[in-house]
Structure 1
C-alpha cells in the first residue's frame, strides 16, 4: 500500500493498493474464499474507514453491523482510463448489471476530480454510493473486474 503525500488545501489522499497476483489470502476467518492480498487490503481499508466514519453514529450497533437502509456510504475510486470500459461495457450493460446486482449507485465521474487526483490524468473517478453492504459488494465486483482486466499503464 502506498499513501500519497497530502496536497495543500486538499483533505483527501490517493491510496494505491497493489500485490503479486499469484499470492492468496483468505478473505474472512470462517470463509473458504481466497483473494489476492490487494483485494484483502482494499476491503480492510474500506471496512476501517466505514467503521471510523460511523463509529459514533446511531445507525451503527454493537455487533459491528449497520442498520440497512439507514446508513449511506460513498466510495470514490480512481480507475485507469484504459480499464473503465471494462466496468461500463459497450452501451453500459456491465455497469447496469453491477447496479442491479448490488443495489448501489455506481457512476463514472469525469468532472470534479479531487485535487489529489489531478496529477493522475490517466484516471477516471468511479463513485459507489449505498448502504455499507451494497457498497462493499459493488466494490468487490468492481475490484474483480479490474483484476481480470489489468491496466496497461
Structure 2
C-alpha cells in the first residue's frame, strides 16, 4: 500500500471514527441536511451511530482526499457553532475547536513515537494540540485522541494522523468502542419502580410489569449474587430512635416504616474491586441510590471471598442488591448493566 498522502488524494480507502458528546453537531438542519450536504460535497461516507446515547460515533470512510474535505467541513461547522454560542456569552476569547478521534490502541504507539517524538512533531508542524488518552475506551481496544486548535490546524493534524495510520496498520483484532445507551435500568424495589438518574434513584410510575420481571431476575448468576435470607425482624443496632428515623429516611416525629433488616452477599475477592470502585466511588453511589447501609468485610486469610452486609428497609435492600448485581454482571460479561 502506498503510504504517502497527497493533496490530490490516493486510491486508498480509510475509515476515521470521531467521538462526539450530546446531540451530534454535524447532524443539524431538517432531517440531517447538514450531514447530507457534507456527504455530497466531500464524497465521503459519513455515518452517525444510532441510539439514545450521551456519546455518538461518527464514522467517516472514503479516499483520503474525501476524508480531509469532510473533516474540513466538520471543523468549520464546529467553529461556526462556537461563534454562534459566543454571541450570547460574555466570553471574549474564542475557545479552540476540539475533535476526539477514536483510534485502535495498537496504532497509538506509532502516533506517539519513540519518547513522544512523533506527537511532538505533529503538534509543532500543525499548531494543533494533540493528546492520546492513556486508557482504552470502555469494553474496547480503542483510545481517544483529542485534537484542538483552529480548523486549519485540525485539518493539517488529521492529515498527519492519516499518514501514520496508513503506515502502521492496526495489529490484531480491534474491538470497536460502542457508546452505552443513556436509557437507565428500571428497577423494582418494595413495590415501587425506580430509574437511576445521576446519583439518585427516582420513583418511576410506569412499566411496573417490566419492573416486576426485572425484580424476579435480580440474581443474574447464583454463585455471585447469592443471598443469605435475613432473620425476620432482625434490627440494626441503633443508639436512638432519632437515628433510626434518619436511617429510614423519616423526619423526626414520624413513625418509622418497616423495621430494618439485614441481607448478606458473598462476593469473590477478585470481583470486589468493581463493587468498591476507585477510592470507594462505586460503593458510595450504590449507598446513595439505594438508601441502604452497606458494609464490606475485610479480606480473611485463606478465604477467596468477601462478605457484604446490606442493612435497611426491604426496598432499600432490594435496590442495593440489584445495583451490586448489575455491577457484577457488567464486570463478568464485559458489557454494560441491564
* Alignment TM class, shorter chain as reference: 0.5 to 0.7
1:52 corresponds to: 77
Indicate how the Cα distance of structure 1 residues 7 and 100 shifts in structure 2: closer, same or farther if over 3 A, else same. same
Secondary structure, in 3 states, of the residue corresponding to 1:99?
Answer: helix
> How many residues get paired?
119
How many Å separate the matches in 1 of 2:130 and 2:103? Answer: 13
Kindly indicate whether the alpha-carbon contact (under 8 Å) linking 2:127 and 2:153 is maintained by their aligned counterparts in 1.
yes
Kindly indicate whether the alpha-carbon contact (under 8 Å) linking 2:79 and 2:97 is maintained by their aligned counterparts in 1.
no
Q: Does 1:12 align with 2:56?
A: yes
Q: State TM-score, norm by structure 1.
A: 0.65
Secondary structure, in 3 states, of the residue corresponding to 1:12?
Answer: strand
Unaligned runs of 5+ in 2: 1-44, 85-92, 174-338
Unaligned runs of 5+ in 1: 20-36, 59-68
2:102 corresponds to: 78
TM superposition shift of 1:112? 9.0
| Higher relative helix content | 2
Q: State TM-score, norm by structure 2.
A: 0.32
| Higher relative strand content | 2
TM superposition shift of 1:45? 1.8
Kindly indicate whether the alpha-carbon contact (under 8 Å) linking 1:71 and 1:131 is maintained by their aligned counterparts in 2.
no
Indicate how the Cα distance of structure 1 residues 15 and 144 shifts in structure 2: closer, same or farther if over 3 A, else same. same
Kindly indicate whether the alpha-carbon contact (under 8 Å) linking 2:128 and 2:153 is maintained by their aligned counterparts in 1.
yes
CA offsets 1:27-81 (integer angstroms, 9 cap, x no match): xxxxxxxxxx1x12321221221233334637xxxxxxxxxx9562112111111
For the pair shown, the structure with the greater C-alpha radius of gyration is 2
How many Å separate the matches in 2 of 1:54 and 1:92? Answer: 29
Q: Does 1:128 align with 2:147?
A: yes
